[in-house]
Structure formats: C-alpha cells, structure tokens
Structure 1
C-alpha cells in the first residue's frame, strides 16, 4: 500500500532539487503546449484541473495528438479499448478530456489541493503508483530531469530497471512551461521551486508590484476565494 502523503513529501523534495537535463527539447515541447493554452483552459473551467497539468498529461499520453483521448491515447471518436476501456465515443477532444478527468480513475477533478507537491502526486497517480510502490522516481514525472536515470514499466506488471523512458516527464515539462508563462502557479500561490540563477526576479502576475493593477487583480481573486 502506497502512502500518498509520503509520496507527496518525496515529490516535494525532488521538485526542489530537480534540474532539467534536456532543456532545449523541453522548451520546444512546452512552446507547442502553451500555444494550445485556451483549449486546455476550457477543460480546466469544467473540471478544476489546472491547465498546465492537463497539457502535460496530453503530451505524455499521446504527444499532444488532438485525435487521441486524454484518458489513454485511444481515438476519442471511438469506444476506447485500453484502460480505461469502454469510454466514448465523444464529440470532441475537450469532451473526452472532461470525461477522463471527471469520470475515470484517479478522478483528478475531485482533487482540491493543487499545491506543487499535491499536483505532482496527482499526476503520478494518473499514470499509476507502481513506481512509488518500488520506492523509485516515476519517469512519468521526472524523465528529463536529474531526478531520473532509468527504470520503466515496459508493459503492465513488467518493470525493467535498465530501461530508460525517452519521453519527457510532467515535471520537466512544467518547469519549461513556467519559463514561458509566469502566470502558471498552483492553488493561487507561486511555485515552491527555488529560482535558477538566470530566472527573472522582477514583478509578474503572480508576484506583482505593490499598487499595480496586477496586485489589485491578485487581491480581488484572493478576496473572492478566501485565500490569504
């Protein structure tokens, strides 16, 4: 039995230590994902799942193929055959994505805590907790960072410790997305990542200058949702 609180604590530590190892590749993919931000935000509006999480799942499950369901990469206009099987057909990619997040395990739309550690753990559970059960970093999260070297489930129940996951992980992609879009945050707070030496330190939407319009907007949002 995997202790999800312990997993969240482990992912939080890994996040603070994570450094991209395939930065140029991650930046290229992140730019492609970011261009589709409005589509991901439309699904966020219906599910409550932050759009960057939806975007990186889309990349992991189908390399951002808009013909493929967010749930498992099967065509969304047909009944799915892979787990979760029997879903669809749907009228659009968005409809299939909403179904995947609302009606399919691990039911990400039910998650209320989207702080960094909780978000990473939610993403890991979307792929499965087999890696956590082994006490190893999940490539679904950490491939493309210094937190992952090797180890991959090559098929259901079969783990190869020497196999390297060639896809970039969700954490690597989120780091790259954050470098493109300073508005990205979880639960209305700034990321817990320590800024790199070349990170911008000036004001942004999530860290606006005092008295600016950005500060007014942030304070208004906090007042509406009761966040301090």
Structure 2
C-alpha cells in the first residue's frame, strides 16, 4: 500500500526542482481563459477542489472537451461505460464534474489539504498509484518536465518502461497556468523552485558615510603645516623646562 504522506513529500521535492521540457503555453491559455475559468470556479465552489486542479484534470481526461465527463472522459449525457462506470446521465458538464469530484475515487471533494505536495498527489491518485508503487514519476503528473523520461501503463495492469507519454502532464500545466495568471498560488511551494520565484532582489546596503575631516586648529593643526611644526617645538620646550618631581 502506498504511503501517501511520503508520496506528498516526494512530489513536493519534484515540484521544487522541476523544469518544463515542452511548451505548455497554448494549452495553459485555453485552461485559464475567462469563460473556462468561470466554469471551473463554479465547480470549485461546490466541491472545494481548487479550480486549477479541475482544469488540468479536464485536459488530461478529455482534452478540455465540454461534452465529456471529468470522471473518465465518457459523454456526460449518457451512462458511463469506463471506470468509474455507471455514472450519469447528467444535465450539464458542471453536474457531471461535481459528481466526479465528490462521489468518485479518489474523492477529491473530501480533501482538505491543498498544499502543492498534496494537490499533486491527489492528481496522481486520480490516475492511479501504479507508478508510485514502482517508485517512478507518474506521467499523468510529470510528463513534459525533466522529472519524467519514459514509462507508461499502456492498458490496465500493463506497464511499458519504454513508452513516453505524449500528453501534457498536470505539473507542467500548473506551472504554465501560474505564469499566465498571477492569482494562482500553491501553498507550501518552495520559494526557491527553479520554475518560479516569488522572492524579490534586495537592494545592496549602502556603506556608512565617512566622518567629515576635522577643521585644522591650534590644538589640531593639519599634518605637515607650519602650525604643526610650531606645536612640536612647543611640546619639546615644555619637556625640557618642566620641573622634575622630587
């Protein structure tokens, strides 16, 4: 059985170091378009699932096809035949999405921890934990980043280590969406991650100004001046004629 807490830590570490190896921009623009975002946000309000996660699942399951269910990509206006089978029919894409998130494994609507490590792990659960059991990154999450090279379940229970997933992985999509929409933020994301940084450069500290030079006076003549010479003579005379103590 997969240790989900350990997988969350692993996925957080992967996120902190991940770099995209594909261009996710065009898909990210579709997913963050105002009309799409409003529909995802409506489902988020009914489920508690962050709308960016809903968006990337929609892309992975059915290439953002609004006639297909978030659960498995089957048409939502008829009873589903793929796992989870027997769902529907529904009145709208939104109703099907709410059912998928609240009533189907991995029951994302019941989740309360949406830090980035937990969110990525929930996405991995959505596709299955077979990759975690093998100790390899899930292409569902990491395809298109340097955290994934190859390996894919080509059908139920059949894993081919040489197949490369051609779809955009959820992590790379989330990175690209965040770059396009500053309102997207992920709790627990490392500040020093290689794909995004929220820290701002600090201005170098200014050196303390040097104290102004002292104005020459009889008590403090400028070095090398006539005043300095006369002062040295006076000091010598005082030393000569100073009465000796008993």
The answer to whether the 8 A contact 2:153-2:159 is kept is: yes
Provide the rounded CA distance (Å) in 2 between the counterparts of 1:125 and 1:87.
Answer: 19
Greater Rg by CA: 2
Provide the rounded CA distance (Å) in 1 between the counterparts of 2:196 and 2:13.
Answer: 21
Go from structure 1 to structure 2 and tell me whether the alpha carbon gap of 1:15 and 1:193 turns closer, same or farther (over 3 Å shift): farther
Give how far 1:199 is off: 5.8
Q: How many residues align?
A: 198
Q: Which residue of 1 aligns with 2:151?
A: 151
- Is 1:18–2:14 an aligned residue pair? no
Give how far 1:201 is off: 5.6
Question: What stretches of structure 1 move > 3 A for 4+ residues in a row?
Answer: 195-202
The answer to whether the 8 A contact 1:76-1:96 is kept is: yes
Provide the rounded CA distance (Å) in 2 between the counterparts of 1:154 and 1:70.
Answer: 20
Q: Which residue of 2 aligns with 1:117?
A: 117
Give how far 1:192 is off: 2.6
TM-score using structure 2 length: 0.77
RMSD (CA atoms): 1.5
Give how far 1:75 is off: 0.2
Q: Which residue of 1 aligns with 2:236?
A: none
Alignment of 1:24-173 (within 5 A): 26-35=24-33, 36-173=36-173
Structure 2 residue runs without a partner (length 5+):
201-246
SS at match of 1:154: strand
User: Deviations 1:120-147 (Å, cap 9, x if unpaired)?
Assistant: 0011001100000000000000000000
- Is 1:191–2:196 an aligned residue pair? no
